[in-house]
Structure 1
């Protein structure tokens, strides 16, 4: 998590009003607003590839795949944030204080970056684990072809599954992510134009 955007504490209602008027996205926790890092072309490509893969597989099923524009509200901890991809199955549920704060994702996906990797693996995952509906947390590496899936076991423990090739199952939604499809077009050197 980055440094707070401002040092003064704000209420959740003030955060929502600021967020509605803002052109950029911010996280909220404990009265503090945090700027979210901007993405790179590869980051956007990886997120788009995941969105397309899951959207195609979930076609006709009662699940929706959302991009990073959808805010997730973790009611147990108060964090409001924007994962790169979220999947909700069944009826969409929102926070009583935030009509746009989804509270029942079943799968969350984060595309890692140098500036966010430690946070996504640590503190953010600690918040995500407090979402009762969440069954799988997917991390997409920004350095190499690697997809990690943390899956909630029956006893509540989170078990890591990973794939560097082939595909990896998202059991909770009956889908699979092909490593080659997720990374299609990534890590290519851009052409410099002057």
Structure 2
């Protein structure tokens, strides 16, 4: 659950101060700070399996799969800065968007979030809207509870396509031809 300071939202500067002073991991979305809890086993297995699939698929290509914890700064506007840590992401422009402190300042082309009870609402509503409005092209929502993966294609700040995969199916990327992940492999635990 998100929180600010008292009944007001936190500023970006307050978020940065909290982040610097704490060993905990946080996300900052539309003025609310979210503590990131330690993930469960099914969550980590899904992330690991997907990372393996993505890593093998993108081997030798210019795109790079990355895993959390890795801060991604997304701006709805100059003033509305958000910081998230997607479970998994594909970055196409890493070299062009590294700042002098070695932090990535671009927008991933594909983002994956694995749901948990504590993040479900944030991942399915707040982050979907954030990713859609900030230039992410494809968003995978992985649900270990019902063993489904929903893939969204974003174009012109709208959902242009989406598909849900389960059981004996394989989730398919809209933007990377040939990138697929067998549902049984993702949820092998």
Confirm or deny that 1:177 pairs with 2:181. Answer: yes
What is the match of residue 190 of structure 1? none
What is the RMSD of the two structures over their aligned residues, measured on CA atoms?
A: 2.7
Paired residue secondary structure (2:39): coil
Classify 1:83/1:114 alpha carbon distance in 2 versus 1 (closer, same or farther; 3 Å). Answer: same
Deviation at 1:31, TM superposition (A): 4.6
Equivalence for 1:158: 160
SS of corresponding position for 1:144: coil
| Correspondence 1:31-50 to 2 at 5 A | 31-50=31-50
Give the corresponding residue for 2:2.
3
**Structure 1 position 25, deviation (Å):** 0.9
**Cα distance in 2 for residues equivalent to 1:45 and 1:55:** 15
1:145 to 135, 142, 147: 147
Q: What is aligned with 2:85?
A: 82
Provide closer, same or farther for how the CA distance between residues 155 and 75 of structure 1 changes in structure 2, counting only shifts above 3 A: closer
Find the counterpart in structure 1 of residue 51 from structure 2: 51
The two structures have a TM-score, normalised by structure 2, of 0.82
Structure 2 contact 72–85 (Cα < 8 Å) conserved: yes
Q: Per the alignment, do residues 20 and 49 of structure 1 end up closer, same or farther by CA in structure 2, a change over 3 Å counting?
A: farther
Residue by residue, what CA displacement relative to the aligned partner does 1:32-61 show, whole Å, maximum 9, x if unpaired?
A: 432123211111111111111101111000
CA distance in 2 between counterparts of 1:80 and 1:152 reads 20
1:25 corresponds to 2:29: no
Structure 1: state its 5+ residue gaps. Answer: 187-194
TM-score, with normalisation over the residues of structure 1? 0.80
Deviation at 1:166, TM superposition (A): 2.4
Q: What are the Cα deviations for residues 54-92 of structure 1, in whole angstroms up to 9, with x where unaligned?
A: 011110000111111111111114221111111111344
Q: 1:114 to 1:32 in 2, by over 3 A?
A: closer
Q: Give CA-to-partner distance per residue, 1:155-180, whole Å, 9 cap, x none.
A: 94332112112212213233111112
